[in-house]
Amino acid sequence: MNSYVGIDVSKDELVVHVLPAEQTSVFPNTASGLAGLVSWLGELQCQRVAFEASGGYERDLLDRLHQVGLAAVRLPAQRPRDLAKALGLKAKTDALDARVLALAAQLLPGASTSPVTAPMQELREWLQLRTALVQERDNHRRRIQQVRQPAVQAYLCTLIQGLQHRIAEVEQQLRRALEHCPVQINAAPGLGPILRATLAARLPELGQLDRRKIAGLVGLAPYNRDSGRWRGRRCIGGGRTDVRRVLYMATWAAIRARTPLAQTYQRMVAAGKPKKLAVTACMRKYLTMLNAMARDQTPWAPHGSTA
């Protein structure tokens, strides 16, 4: 009988639930605990193991499961929660979460998750650090507009200058880390080092999927909202918001550079489309071009790009 395993991961322990046997066990989230877990799972005909992304506490678990050849799926936290709501499960404990994850392993589709390589992990951590520094800098910039005391304003200016210096240092590290990443794309308008790093770290599937799947992965695929004769407005949603945020800024840079994306944007606005809709369409088109460039290792050729 095939078994489906859900693991609720925390800093200190791993709470495990197995279906259909309805077995539950707890292991410490340590090297010895992972060894015991793998040994225990080896006695089962384990079809699939599911767990949530938990701020990095799941990395050692994923590495160990991959080493022994067990199919492991790391799910976004929202998917098991939505499944629990659909099943009418309102209570929440670690044991219940593990059982919901076991149900997710059994019911929800999803490809196995591969461990992140050391160069890719380094790139991701530099990128996360830059994001945190930029957010802190922007918070101080907003704060300085509200204060009136010159001494406080001067102090905030010093903080902002220091953070700007740190951001520049981190961006230098990002450029170095990019040299060791497998995802390489030729030059294109709007494709700066931050977008390159974001695509390499957060969208390694670039160049491996068709244009519809890559757009859906980023959250740029419009979804139908129809019922009977009613036709709702198509909207995007979900996906990788961090990739979408950086791609938004890069798309505007490409539009301002008078690329064919500018023609698409102007044509849609002239036809009465909302500007937000027009720039979203340009983002999707830009992503399609980058996907084709990464797939075929070709230069920027917007008129001939397909995916």
Structure tokens at 253: 């840079």
At 188 the pLDDT is: 86
Distances (CA, A) of 277 to 114, 251, 264, 287: 35, 13, 11, 15
Under a CB-based contact definition with an 8 Å cutoff, are residues 40 and 25 in contact? yes
At 157 the pLDDT is: 96
Task: Label residue 207 exposed, middle or buried (CB < 10 Å: 0-12, 13-18, 19+).
Answer: buried
pLDDT in tens, 128-152: 999 999 999 999 999 999 999 999 9
Largest CA distance in the chain: 72
If you average pLDDT over residues 216-231, what whole number do you get? 74
Q: pTM of the predicted model, to two decimals?
A: 0.78
Place domain 3-107 in its CATH homologous superfamily.
Answer: ATPase, nucleotide binding domain (3.30.420.40)
Q: In the structure, what pLDDT confidence band is assigned to residue 5 with cuts at 50, 70 and 90?
A: very high
Residue type, 20: P
